[in-house]
Amino acid sequence: MTTNKKSSLASAMWKMKCPNCRKGDLFETKNPWILSKLDSMPPRCPVCNQSYFPEVGFYYGAMYISYMVSIAVEVPIFLLMLLFFGFQMVPMVITLCVSLIFFFPYIYRYSRVLWIYVTIPFESYKKL
Ligand SMILES: [Zn+2]
């Protein structure tokens, strides 16, 4: 069933949809674990023709978002380990590294999603 209703902002971000129309997919594959296609994005939204690359190096800014998202993922894991197992350096470092590797494709993609959702609402980018 298809509807013309625009999905909510949070739902569109979760589903990695276009920030302008919230219908077109931001990434070519839905599965982030296909690492060869991890950063494959169409140049424009197939629904509303919004550019996903409004300027050269547009996604460099997503690196800062990636750092914040990584911290947001790792701090709760650190605190849970601290709460249940106390401070044990080696198991904690191993767990945090493994969890970071596990969450990397999601962190990478959602960093791009957050970055484009922060920047596209500006009128100058909407025209591109
Ligand atoms: Zn669109």
- Asked whether residue 2 is domain-assigned, the answer is no
**What pLDDT was estimated at residue 1?**
47
Cα-to-centroid distance, 117 and ligand 1 (Å)? 12
Does residue 76 sit within a domain?
Answer: yes
User: 47 lies in a domain?
Assistant: yes
Q: For the beta carbon of residue 112, count every other beta carbon within 10 angstroms.
A: 23
Q: Rounded CA gap, 111 and 44, in Å?
A: 18
CB 127 within 8 A of CB 81: no
Measure the CA angle with vertex 106, ends 104 and 108; round to 5°.
65
With respect to residue 43, please indicate whether it lies within any of the assigned structural domains: yes
Determine the distance separating the centroid of ligand 1 and the alpha carbon of 47, expressed in angstroms.
5
Residue 1 within any structural domain of the chain: no
pLDDT digits (tens, 9 = 90+) for 57-69: 999 999 999 999 9
Ligand 1 center from residue 37 Cα (angstroms): 20
Residue 24 lies in a domain: yes
Contacts of 40 (CB under 8 A, 6+ apart): 27, 28, 29
Domain assignment present for 3: no
How many CA atoms, within 13 angstroms, populate the side-chain half-sphere of residue 12?
18
Q: How many domains does the chain have?
A: 1
Say whether pLDDT at 3 is over 70: no
CB atoms near residue 64 (< 10 Å): 12
Nearest CA-CA partner of 53 in 18, 16, 23: 18
* Owning domain of residue 33: 9-126
Residue 44's SS3 state is strand
Cα(60) to ligand 1 centroid in Å equals: 21
> Distance, CA 103 to ligand 1 centroid (Å)?
27
In tens, the pLDDT along 16-51 reads 999 999 999 999 999 989 999 999 999 999 999 999
Average confidence score pLDDT of the chain: 90
In a domain, 21, yes or no: yes
CA 49 – ligand 1 centroid, Å: 6
Q: CA 95, CA 27: separation in Å to the nearest integer?
A: 29
Return all residues near 2 (Cβ < 8 A) that are at least 6 apart.
none
CA 40–ligand 1 middle distance (angstroms): 16
- The percentage of the chain sitting over the pLDDT mark of 90, rounded to a whole number, equals 74
Predicted pLDDT of residue 44: 94
- Mean pLDDT of all residues in 89-116: 95
